[in-house]
Chain A
């Protein structure tokens, strides 16, 4: 529904009190140059009666001179702001437009469709909750469509409207609409969208923009505007734990010391226990102070000032957080970078990194890979050029407090700033603590090859190299089977290396904790060592929990699928708990150990393993027999 002029005219007070309660939806529009995006927004403003008479007069004059809509009003000219762009006939920056209906207020970020303006689109998307992606019904899904969808997804947008425009030019064909819809769905299932709404329309003629279309009788969904008015948006800000980045210390006199900032996530109340990061010092919220008096609650998005019960040292860039589920603190992070400068991102160069946690020096230690935004493929790269997006490892010169971007956009984002020109060079979305998986070795390193042929090694050892991963819960019997398997192979004259997760942690992985991140790194190291020994012709036997399916998959790829044998030691949890030789389950249940697979963290059961064994049913010997049988059947032991 449009703004009700009747109510404005007859009862302005009621109108105002209704208007006052409206929520706000920020959405972004993107499409290729000729998809009719500016026309669509012009249409939204026009049909919601937000174009004033004098603007309309200016528009009629402009349409006559520059318009490309024939005799019709060229609504696109309303949107294309600056002189140079208007002459070129394309929009080249982010423009913001505002309108409201009886149900909602809207801020529209209009972002360009032109190939080279990824940075503007990322800028527009960063503060939006929804994206409207325009497709010209004649041309269907283009590279640009994919690009816009990928960027929207990367920037944390979860709600998408795919507006299939110019339906008038394809005879309002339902078949064409469904064809495009299918094509889009096939491509977008890789993306992180939770809601995608497809709507056929003609922005030029107004069909299905605000009003239902008389031409599209086969379509029974709401028109675009009605959808925008009612859609529930979740966004990427699902984190519910308190994150309060301190922006400013307010100290008007010696008696008052407040910390001002905008709550990035969660809720806070006077009396809540908080921890200041990175110092780790605890305190309690005393008051939530505002201009109009103290509040008893503040939520994400509120700009407030708090005082603490203790005189602890807190300054700009510190975060006050809840006691549960603290954010990450690390010098080394992996992040998706959108490079926005003409000069190229080069690993090793020093930049400034600005986030809600303040400003610090940072350098990109490696470009792990570039993302082809048309296909989402990871492409190997040494640097990033203007408008390229890639995953980079970044080292910060102080401990950086953050959450992964997928959990919170405010605490998971940063910009890189040039030290000399002060210009903003890049936007970053943090994936997590730097992981060795993605880090590429320094350029210039060359692998030294051996003079010994694999066939010579196979002849010497009478075997082909392989890596047997025994994965399963703690106390499932993995190490026991590994040791028994090693003995049997040794006795048969085979050459093996046993890589036990726990032994790794006594040495090579001494620096790792039992967090999911570090478990992943431990498996990576095991896989790297396994690859080395496989290359020497040996059989690697690895025994570790390896609780995550995606991490096991990465290990499999690293070692090589043809050499990888995954054995799931599927002993029931109850039996493992019963055994519990080191009391680990007990400690996990008492919360003395965090993130313990099977208790306080998931163990993702393998689904496409090579072999499944269960030590509660079969003896160790029988399990080993079946592994040996598998190795033989694969030709590994009879080279």
Chain B
């Protein structure tokens, strides 16, 4: 039987992970707890079986993640016996930086981008895996699978290393690093289908349930804890919703849905006419915002 597209994509991702472990001294996997991270983690188990995953996971905790995400993170990592490093920007925490008072742009910069740089510097990692895919956004369509970052974690789209065949150049000097995207060539459908076929566990927030939400500027935001700042006479409504992408709860838009099983979610996705990142508030400013964030070191 000829190999299916998922066989090929899986083999490519496994090859990439093994290449990083062979070439780099101190790799780490960025673990966002989302579905792409869950796929990445599953691929890592496959790549190094029967051995353990030979690198730690790093979670940048903005302190505003959904509670169910944190529970999921702690349970999964404990059950797999992988090292988990959790880092929050201490200055941001001290200054009580939050998405309600400081705006999504500042908040993202301080609690995500800066926090990530701090953690990568502290760990002296020379390679960091991420779950980004080229189909998500225009700027990502051109990024290499092994994406070089300078000492300041900056990406220079004009000075990318040529990447041919399955030969990846992971050589760096001290302080420089490589961001590695093993599932670059996967689409959202591939990710869901793989989750379905492999029975990969995902955060329950991806599945529909009755949840408390407020509608704000056309976006449904879930009231996940008592830090939520209501505006005017906002009151949480109980609606059947789910999330297409997960991040900080005040910045994640929910969609109304009754899809619970993975096939139902896929069905809804295929029939939907809105693209995945649309639920993420940070991309809305302008279409080049992701490119700018990436240049600055955002994943």
- If the complex has contacts A53-B273, A123-B164, are A247 and B15 also in contact, measured as CB distance less than 8 A? yes
Which one, A16, A58, A252, contacts B193 given CB within 8 A? A16
Which one, B49, B157, B196, B288, contacts A93 given CB within 8 A? B157
Which one, B21, B47, B278, contacts A303 given CB within 8 A? B47
Q: Does A414 contact B (CB under 8 A)?
A: yes
| Residue ID in chain A nearest B140 by CB atoms | A81
A-B contact count (CB 8 A): 178
Is the Cβ of A5 less than 8 Å from the Cβ of B169? no
Query: Using Cβ atoms and an 8 Å threshold, which residues of chain A touch B165?
Result: 126-127, 409-410, 413
Is the Cβ of A303 less than 8 Å from the Cβ of B169? no
Q: Does B142 contact A (CB under 8 A)?
A: yes
- Chain A min CB distance to B112 (Å): 21
Which one, A9, A252, A413, contacts B164 given CB within 8 A? A413
Is the Cβ of A24 less than 8 Å from the Cβ of B142? no
Q: How many residues of B contact A (CB 8 A)?
A: 66
Q: Does A355 contact B (CB under 8 A)?
A: yes
Is the Cβ of B162 less than 8 Å from the Cβ of A119? yes
Which one, B46, B141, B157, contacts A96 given CB within 8 A? B141
- Chain A min CB distance to B248 (Å): 21
Is the Cβ of B161 less than 8 Å from the Cβ of A250? no
Is the Cβ of B162 less than 8 Å from the Cβ of A424? yes
Is the Cβ of B271 less than 8 Å from the Cβ of A20? no
Is the Cβ of A81 less than 8 Å from the Cβ of B139? yes
Q: Does B8 contact A (CB under 8 A)?
A: yes
Which stretch (A255-263, A322-330, A454-462, A614-622) binds chain B? A255-263
- Chain A min CB distance to B145 (Å): 10
Is the Cβ of A427 less than 8 Å from the Cβ of B164? yes
The answer for the CA separation of A336 and B295 in the assembled complex, in Å, is 34
Is the Cβ of A301 less than 8 Å from the Cβ of B46? no
Interface members, chain B 104-138 (any A CB < 8 Å): 134-135, 138
Q: How many residues of A contact B (CB 8 A)?
A: 74
Interface members, chain B 1-45 (any A CB < 8 Å): 2-12, 14-15, 18-19, 21-22, 45
Is the Cβ of A417 less than 8 Å from the Cβ of B274? no
Is the Cβ of A62 less than 8 Å from the Cβ of B287? yes
Is the Cβ of B166 less than 8 Å from the Cβ of A410? yes
Is the Cβ of A424 less than 8 Å from the Cβ of B169? yes
Is the Cβ of A422 less than 8 Å from the Cβ of B162? no
The answer for the CA separation of A64 and B264 in the assembled complex, in Å, is 37
Is the Cβ of A303 less than 8 Å from the Cβ of B18? yes
Is the Cβ of A82 less than 8 Å from the Cβ of B163? no
The answer for the CA separation of A95 and B140 in the assembled complex, in Å, is 9
Interface members, chain A 335-394 (any B CB < 8 Å): 340, 352, 354-356
Q: Does A447 contact B (CB under 8 A)?
A: no
Q: Does B296 contact A (CB under 8 A)?
A: no
Is the Cβ of A12 less than 8 Å from the Cβ of B263? yes
Is the Cβ of A303 less than 8 Å from the Cβ of B270? no
- If the complex has contacts A20-B193, A53-B273, A252-B51, are A301 and B3 also in contact, measured as CB distance less than 8 A? yes
Interface members, chain A 232-262 (any B CB < 8 Å): 247-248, 250-252, 256, 258, 260-262
Q: Does A592 contact B (CB under 8 A)?
A: no
The answer for the CA separation of A9 and B267 in the assembled complex, in Å, is 7
- If the complex has contacts A81-B138, A301-B3, are A413 and B267 also in contact, measured as CB distance less than 8 A? no
Residues of A within 8 A of B (CB): 3, 5, 8-9, 12-13, 15-16, 19-24, 52-55, 58, 62, 78, 81-84, 93-98, 100, 105, 107, 119-120, 122-123, 126-127, 247-248, 250-252, 256, 258, 260-262, 289-291, 299, 301-303, 305, 316, 340, 352, 354-356, 409-410, 413-415, 417, 422-424, 427
- Besides the known contacts A302-B11, A413-B164, 8 further A-B residue pairs in the complex with CB atoms under 8 A apart: A5-B270, A16-B196, A16-B266, A53-B274, A248-B21, A250-B48, A301-B7, A424-B162
Q: List 18 A-B contacts (CB under 8 A).
A: A8-B271, A15-B267, A52-B274, A53-B273, A81-B139, A84-B158, A95-B142, A97-B141, A123-B163, A127-B166, A248-B22, A252-B52, A262-B11, A289-B49, A305-B50, A354-B169, A410-B165, A415-B167
- Cβ-closest 6 pairs across A and B: A252-B51, A24-B5, A52-B275, A53-B273, A126-B164, A422-B171
